[in-house]
Structures are given as C-alpha cells and as structure tokens.
C-alpha cells in the first residue's frame, strides 16, 4: 500500500433522525482511522440507548466497541473515538461517552458503522468527524 498522506480530518453527512451512521471505504483505497468524534442527541422518548462502533465486511463484523454507559431521554453526548491503547481515566466530562478504536487498515468495501441499540425515531447522530489515513489498495 502506498501512503498518500498522513491523514485528514473528514466530516461526514449526518444520517436522518432515527437512523444509524455508516460510511464505506471507497474502491481502490484502504483506510486507517486514528480518532474522531460524533455527537448523539437522544429524543425525549423514554428508552435506554447504547452506542457502538463496528467495522464490517458484508455481514461479518470483525471489530466492535461500545460506550460504557446508556443514554436516556433528552440527553446529548459527545462521543470521542480514541486508540484503545490510550487510557482515559474516569468520567472526566459528564457529557462524554468515549469509544476505544483500533487503528487497523480497513480494506476497500469495509463499512464503518455507528449503531444505536434502542434507537428512537427522533434520535440523531451528527457531527461525525474521523481522522483518516488513506492508502491505495
């Protein structure tokens, strides 16, 4: 793989309310995600939600990480993504729900998905920013 650069911060289009987020590694490319963040806004509907990040090829999930706490009605959280070998001590911000990631090369066609278990119609995932290193596959 020839490295095209040291990585760029990419901002993605937000999905419709009540929908999960996904992005696909483009044809002829490989991605390594070094970090990023997103915002999750829970609607007023009473329910527990749990956010997760998945890397998958077709129906095969080969990496998954989730937040350590549930989100309930009318809460807004920033979800930072960080390399799992880093350690973030405690709940240093009450509005942060970190997810640990692995900076591995993701081949063409890999789907990066932020899913929400218990998602409600008015819930919103937005402000998805990923620091992506891209290489030719």
pLDDT tens-digit series, residues 91-100:
444 566 778 8
For residue 13, how far is the Cα from the chain centroid?
13
CA atoms within 13 A on the CB side of 35: 7
Report the sign of the C-alpha dihedral through residues 11, 17, 20, 24, in that order.
negative
pLDDT (0 to 100) of residue 3:
47
Q: What is the mean pLDDT of residues 25-48?
A: 94
Most confident of 21-30, 64-73, 82-91: 21-30
Res 1 pLDDT > 80: no
Q: Identify the structural domains of the chain with CATH numbers, from first to last.
A: 2-136 (2.60.120)
Task: Write the pLDDT tens digit of every residue in 45-84.
Answer: 999 999 999 999 999 999 998 887 888 899 998 888 887 6
Report the sign of the C-alpha dihedral through residues 108, 80, 86, 99, in that order.
negative
Residue corresponding to tokens 């289009």? 13
Beta strand ranges found along 58-98 (DSSP E)? 60-66, 76-83
């Amino acid at each position: 793989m020839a490295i095209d650069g040291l990585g760029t911060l990419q901002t993605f289009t937000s999905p419709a309310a009540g929908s999960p987020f996904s992005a696909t590694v483009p044809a002829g490319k490989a991605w390594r995600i070094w970090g990023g963040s997103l915002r999750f806004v829970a609607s007023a509907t009473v329910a527990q939600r749990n956010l997760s990040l998945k890397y998958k090829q077709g129906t095969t999930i080969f990496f998954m990480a989730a937040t350590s706490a549930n989100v309930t009605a009318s809460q807004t959280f920033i979800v930072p993504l960080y390399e799992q070998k880093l350690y973030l001590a405690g709940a240093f911000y009450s509005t942060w729900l970190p997810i640990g990631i692995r900076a591995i090369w993701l081949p063409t066609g890999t789907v990066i998905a932020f899913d929400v278990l218990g998602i409600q119609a008015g819930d919103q995932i937005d402000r998805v920013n990923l620091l992506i290193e891209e290489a030719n596959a």
